[in-house]
Amino acid sequence: MTVFEQAVAALQPPMEAIGFAKVIHDGVFVGGQHGDFTPSVGMNSAIESEDAVCAILPILGVAHRPTLERLAELTGVRGWKTGVVVSLPIGSVMPEEPFARWKFNDGNLAGQARSLTEAVESYGVPWMGRMADLDAMRLELDDGASHHVEYKLPVVLDLLGRTDEARTHVEAQLIRLADATHLKAQQHRAFAERFLRELEDGQ
């Protein structure tokens, strides 16, 4: 068993006690659903000292089922359905701890698991609760640390009924990537074409 696997095993009882009972993707703890919103904590890890130490920097995330299902349809990437819409490192919501992380080794597993879980409960759960609202997600996407915003934000705007802003956002991204030939530009163009076509068809 690697130190990371031991750390995840040690985290299971305390994380379950605060409502994160399910583990997916070998280290993503999923909490209870609130309507269409589901919180999760990804145990983002780095191995140090030749596999003897596992540093975990928890990433908070909140999924919104209709947004992710639409993204899966628009892109053909089924994995969206088990992803998140907004995410950020837990340190971002901890006072004076922007790079908070917990170092696990085989002598401190239970203690570090308790400490990490306490931080999730004290700082992560309130943020995830605030994100269980589509307009709060929109603001977080606009001004936060989430990834793949160029896909998520227009879909969220459209679900909020702000279709013109969704269209404007996608068109701005198309202009930004107009001369680019890399893979992201190719993927985004395919998404944008389909998204804009569906907006046209819906009007």
Partner 1 sequence: MEFPNGTKGFLEVRTGPTADLNANQEAVLPEIMNSGFVPAGNHASRAGLQPGVALEPLPVWVIYQTWPL
Q: Which residues pair with 131 in a beta bridge?
A: none
Contact (Cβ atoms closer than 8 angstroms) between residue 67 and residue 132: no
3-state class (DSSP) for residue 100: coil
- Can residue 84 be called a binding residue for partner 1 (CB under 8 A)? yes
The DSSP bridge pattern shows strands 28-30 and 102-104 to be: unpaired
Q: Which two tokens stand for residue 67?
A: 């947004």
Candidates 77-85, 106-114, 135-143, 195-203; binding stretch for partner 1 (CB under 8 A): 77-85
- Can residue 94 be called a binding residue for partner 1 (CB under 8 A)? no
Q: Which two tokens stand for residue 91?
A: 């340190």
Compute how many residues bind partner 1; rule: CB under 8 A: 36
Site string for partner 1, 106-145 (x = CB under 8 A): ---------------------------------------x
The DSSP bridge pattern shows strands 28-30 and 37-48 to be: antiparallel
Task: Determine which residue in the list 88, 109, 113, 141 makes contact with partner 1, applying CB under 8 A.
Answer: 88
How far apart (Å, rounded) are the C-alpha atoms in residues 105 and 38?
30
- Can residue 156 be called a binding residue for partner 1 (CB under 8 A)? no
- The footprint of partner 1 (CB under 8 A) covers 24-28, 42-45, 48-50, 59, 61, 75, 77, 79-80, 82-84, 87-88, 145-148, 151, 177, 180, 182-187
